[in-house]
Amino acid sequence: MSPAVAAPPGLFAILAFDASNQLAVRQLGSRMGLPFTGSDFAMAVSRLAGAFSTHTKPAEYFAADAGGRSYRVFFVQVSGQPADSEIVFRSLDSLTAEPAALAPSLAGLIAELEPHLVEIPYLHLGENDFIYKFRPAQERNPGIYAQDAAAGTLYQSRLCAAIKALARQHERTAAAPVTLDFGAVSYVIPSHFGFCLGVKNAIERAYETLAENPGRRVFMLSELIHNPFVNEDLLRRGLRYLQTDKGDPYTVNGKVGPAAGSATLLWDTLTPEDIVIIPAFGATDEDKRRLVRRGIAVCHYDATCMLVEKVWKAARAYGREGFTVVIHGKHEHEETKATFSNTRRYAPAVIVRNLEEAQLLGSIVASDEATMQGRFELAFAGRYTPGFEVVRDLQRIAVVNQTTLLMNETLEIISHLRDVYTKTFGDAQRVGGSSRRDTLCYATQVNQDALSRALGEPLDAAFVIGGKNSSNTYQLFRLCEQTLGDQAFFIQSESSIRSREIVEHYVYLGGGSGRIEPRPLWPGETTPKRVLITGGASCPDGIIQQVITRINSFFPAAQLRDVEDVLADLERAAGRNYTNIP
């Protein structure tokens, strides 16, 4: 009998990535291999330190067999150029495109990277750190909103600046509305409206990136925010989109869907020299993996709102506590897609759109019928994680939400599910999240609270301004509609107000679709009016002022007070001057 051959001892391998997520490899002629390995951890670290003086602490990610050896694999992010001339950076896509050039050990470990790709851009961050924190006021870049006449008209408004100075004593607390008295028409403006901090962060990141990189291609993963005028202004300045807000990719000639034919997709032209900005909604893990494989710098241009990321962190915590995560959101919305994708790494998950769907989920939880798995799969098709088992995965649940929805609806869903679990299991603690409101965006909520206060005023009409696909704008419209019925209008800009008689109102039909419907405003009426105006979180101040100007044009000039007189009223109340703002 032949003696047993001892297995070779295991090795340690450190995979070093730069800020563009390219992997450091040792290149000798046409062959490439692992540069930082050792029979013990200290040896691998020593080889890493000899090439890069600055790197993150090595973090262990997996173990694998490759090239006939067993490896414990660690990741680091490195800075600067390698001191060793044989070490070069290559994108993962470029490496896998040359299998014959790869040493078996390198090829084997690259093949194991897929589950971990989404974490590579953020190796320098702790799990409780945020990718892109809100900038304090002194670090904001107001210059981008006035870089030329077009930007000034779109983003700036003396009236809005005066209202905010007067009414916003606290960023997170709604105050009484402000009235603009133009004489024949008065406007009731909530204390909080328009751009939130997450949107400001994303807009400033986009304009700054374009200005700082004049010789490079700059892409947005999809729409920066849900406002067509902001997106059009960025396109005019050279930004391009990789895909639509529904995730359909654009071709190099700007086509999408069936019209694209066999044309090359922009995704397929990306190189490490290109820049891709992730919008405030965040991105799915699938999209991030594609960017990582291309060698694109993901983290530096990730403008995910930190309040969206806060939802992700809550979902992760719930998953670690053994809860299945129920996401209150619109499954077609980019933010909910990103939250679902992120959550599935840590927990089973299912998306419910509203209270009605939560009630359906509750009926399945309360059922002991053999058909409940089939009922679940039919009702929530495409909105639950693979391998979801009703009996196993609905034992304990926790609710998080799409940040742009109504807080009260999320709380109603939590309350209903708690009742179901109490009646079914005798244990309300099986539903997590009922005492936590940390996944409710304060900016969305304060806009809703401020609007509710304004709706307590006597009003003849309300105009809610925002993009057709803006979820938070639609929620504001719903609040107005509950009070004013068909005298509440969802519009995109002043051009939606065709005349004193007709408004082109947007009717949202659900599932990301809708239609324009002409509705009467004040046909044949000449009496003074009192009008509420607000804007969603992606509505620029300039458009709000343009809507006011448009409505003013329906009244005789002799019956209107001059805008300077209205501003003087606000300035006296706030003790400030707004002569330098358009």
Question: Which residues are catalytically annotated?
Answer: 335
CA 440 vs. chain centroid, Å, equals: 14
CA distance 475 to 448: 8
Nearest to 233 by CA among 260, 192, 203: 203
CB 65 within 8 A of CB 108: yes
Q: What is the largest CA-CA distance in the chain?
A: 111
CB 296 within 8 A of CB 20: yes
CA dihedral 128, 133, 134, 136 (to 10 degrees): 100
CA distance 405 to 476: 9
3 state SS for 25-47: EEEECCEEECCCEECCHHHHHHH
CA distance 558 to 72: 81
The H or E element containing residue 277 is strand 275-277
Tell me which residue has tokens 């998953």: 319
The number of C-alpha atoms within 13 Å of 279 and in the hemisphere containing its C-beta is 29
Question: Buried (b) or exposed (e) across 225-246, using 16+ Cβ within 10 A?
Answer: bbbbbbbebbeebebbbbbebe
Sign of the CA dihedral running 432, 433, 434, 436: positive
CA distance 466 to 102: 52
CA distance 446 to 406: 11
CA distance 208 to 318: 36
CA distance 543 to 492: 9
CA 438 vs. chain centroid, Å, equals: 17
Q: What are phi and psi of 171, to 5 degrees?
A: -65, -30
CA distance 326 to 196: 26
CA distance 266 to 242: 6
Q: What is the DSSP letter of 267?
A: G
Tokens standing for 285?
């893990």
